[in-house]
Amino acid sequence: MPTSERKPASAIHRERKTASAIHRERGSDAHYEDATYYASAYAARTEDLDYYLGLARTADVPMLEYGCGNGRIALPLAYAGHDVTGIDRSRPMLADLRRQLRLAPKEVRARVALRHGDMRSARLGRKFGLVVCTFNTFLHLYTRADVERFLARVLCHLAPRGRFVFDVSVPSAEELARKPERTFRVTPFRHAGTGEVVRYGERFDYDPMTQVLDVAMVFEPRDAPRRRWVTPLCHRQFFPQELEALLHYNGLSVVDLHADFEAKPPARDTTTLIYHAKAR
């Protein structure tokens, strides 16, 4: 290309930023488009549910859940007698939760209120004694501006002396160092959404400049491997000291920090951190 026809560096930079933003939007949504598969994939995950059930019993106040999805945590809370308002940006997941609520007893349905929206901007016009952000939903905040917008909404919805609790996975040096061209596979299984037996694997690609980990979830039907599909999942990696600073400079103080959904302090082998914060 002649020099006169080359794009300026600023234009190339803008195009790359736009492409990256589109990719991250897809990485925020794709994993949550098949509610049946999602429910099956995480059916055995109960440690966080037990933790939030215990938290709700102790607080005994109406709760706001960011990232309620199709109700893996919100529904058991409602069955246990707690009032839950859920926000999620995934229409398929909310549709599945509404389907389940239609089958639930009337008193359970009365305890759940749902809102489709972006957690960075949704305004409910009310305050809650307990605001939670469950199962790595916080990791879909890819930039400092995203974090600041979200925490501003949290503070708007947090009642005086209320508590904000969220869980995040601790960045794994092993995962971040994996070669993106290598696929890590597991035993084939029957896909709950399609009913097919699939070979499944994951590829990891970490960008240390943005601190975003791209996970490509690869599905190959055993009887029709050419129909393989890839589901992207993007997770921002927050290091513990960085996250404490982000909370502090956005008006929140950490009042408790638990490890791996137990009331114990973090250690070198901790894989999940649960932050308890209050407005300063």
The ranges assigned to domains in the chain are 45-170+238-279, 173-236
- What's the pTM value of the predicted model, to 2 decimals? 0.92
* Residue 73, phi-psi category: left (phi > 0), alpha (psi -120 to 50), beta (remainder): alpha
Predicted local confidence at residue 15, as pLDDT: 45
**pLDDT given for residue 161 in this prediction:** 94
Half-sphere exposure of 199 (CA within 13 A, CB side): 11
Domain at 45-170+238-279, CATH from 3.40.50.620, 3.40.50.12780, 3.30.1330.10, 3.40.50.150: 3.40.50.150
Look at residue 22 in the predicted model and tell me its pLDDT: 82
Closest Cα partner for 37 from 65, 69, 68? 69
Other beta carbons within 10 Å of 200: 17
Q: Please tell me the distance from the alpha carbon of residue 252 to that of residue 144, in angstroms, as a whole number.
A: 15
Mean pLDDT by runs of 10 across the 280 residues of the chain is 56 54 89 97 97 97 98 98 98 98 98 98 97 98 98 98 98 96 96 95 97 97 94 98 98 98 96 97
Which parts of the chain are beta strand (E)?
A: 63-66, 84-88, 112-116, 128-133, 158-169, 184-190, 197-207, 212-221, 229-236, 252-259, 272-279
Q: What does the pLDDT read at residue 17?
A: 57
Cβ–Cβ < 8 Å for 71, 92: no
Let me know: does 213 contact 235? Beta carbons within 8 Å: yes
Nearest to 220 by CA among 207, 211, 230, 210: 230
Q: What is the pLDDT of residue 23?
A: 82
Q: How many Å separate Cα 266 from the centre of its chain?
A: 21
Contact 162, 128 (CB under 8 A): yes
* Neighbouring C-beta atoms of residue 41, cutoff 10 Å: 17
Longest CA–CA span in the chain (Å) reads 71
